Structure 1
Amino acid sequence: MGRTYQPHQLALATLGAVVFVLLPKPWAPAPPKHPSINASSPEEEKFVKEWLAKNSPAEEH
């Protein structure tokens, strides 16, 4: 492009670009806060879901 840039300007631009790419995005959807249920059968999964629904601390309000 024919224009010269100071080394500190290139370093700051590079650091800014890396930080922009690597930082988590605040507008991205949040991951689910509950762990997945790794049940060996559909009955076991149903039991675990019912137990969690009944004993959830969020419903004690």
Structure 2
Amino acid sequence: MAGHYVIAGKKIPNHLLSIGFISAYALGGAYMALKPKPAQPATPPIQASSDDEEAFIKEFLAKAEADEKK
């Protein structure tokens, strides 16, 4: 017969402990895999050296998107 551990004054068989740990590990993994992810921005941030450059890039992207929709 398999061994046992005494926890809080009760004999707990080894197979129940192993089932409990494997279940907890699987549930933790499922939680981490299914947890909602934070929303990612649609485009990367614009890293312009000046405000004029940033405005030009935004205007260019807006025109490109408008041409693409046509």
Please indicate the TM-score interval, normalised by the length of the shorter structure: 0.5 to 0.7
- Which 4+ runs in 1 deviate beyond 6 A? none
Instruction: Give the TM-score normalised by structure 1.
Output: 0.67
| Counterpart check, 1:48 vs 2:42 | no
Identity of aligned residues (%): 34
Number of equivalenced pairs: 59
The higher radius of gyration belongs to 2
Question: Higher strand proportion, which one?
Answer: 2
SS in structure 1 at match of 2:30: helix
CA distance in 2, matches of 1:31, 1:56: 20
Report the residue type matching 1:37 in the other structure: I
Match of 1:18 among 29, 32, 35: 29
Q: Which residue does 2:39 correspond to in 1?
A: 30
Gaps of 5+ in 2: 1-6
The 3 A distance-change label for structure 1 pair 29 and 59 is farther
TM-score (ref. length: structure 2): 0.61
Q: CA deviation at 1:29?
A: 4.6
CA RMSD between the two structures: 2.8
Gap regions ≥5 residues in structure 1: none
